[in-house]
Structure 1
Amino acid sequence: MSPRKQPKDPLYNRIRVLRAERDMSRAQLAELIGVNPQTVGALERGDHSPSLDLAFRICEVFGLPVEAVFSREEFAPMSKELYTR
């Protein structure tokens, strides 16, 4: 994404990690949420921010609340979260 088009407040997500945990391809997730696989890739890279509706559809697929999938702050690695408790 060009610097000119960068959002003021980036939206981080765990879509790639969640897909990998479930052995799910971009195409499979795209089909479940009603978008094309390129859109899933753009979401994962942070090149595209989802609409509220799309964010909810993504969270529904993974069975997680929005704040577990999306954040305004960068996520720490999941292993760090699990093993620092």
Structure 2
Amino acid sequence: MMIKNRIKEYRAKYNMKQGELANKVGVRRETIGNLEKGKYNPSLVLAWNIAKVFEVNIEEIFTVEGK
């Protein structure tokens, strides 16, 4: 299973840099970069916190693909 995300798209919409988002959710900038590249699946808490920053449901940003 793979978790796809729209973090980069939402950051652009809010004119937010990776570092800004990282500070808001309590991770390093590299973590946000790795999430965007699909190298890392977020914990449920991190996914929830990212969704809260953008004021949307988790499903708006994260989707699961595959079986």
- TM-score scaled by length of structure 2: 0.94
Residue in 1 aligned with 2:38? 46
Residue in 2 aligned with 1:56? 48
Larger RCO, structure (CA 8 Å, separation 6 or more): 2
Identity %: 40
Structure with the largest fraction of strand: 2
Instruction: Give the alignment partner of residue 26 of structure 1, picking from 1, 18, 25.
Output: 18
Instruction: Give the alignment partner of residue 17 of structure 1, picking from 9, 23, 33.
Output: 9
Residue in 2 aligned with 1:35? 27
CA displacement, residues 6-58 of structure 1 (integer Å, 9 cap, x when unaligned): xxx11000000000011000000000000000000000001000000000000
SS in 2 for 1:11: strand
* Number of residue equivalences: 65
Runs of 4+ in 1 over 6 A off after TM superposition: none
Q: What RMSD, in angstroms, separates the aligned Cα atoms of the two structures? A: 0.6
- TM-score scaled by length of structure 1: 0.75
Aligned equivalents of 1:53, 1:61: Cα separation in 2: 12
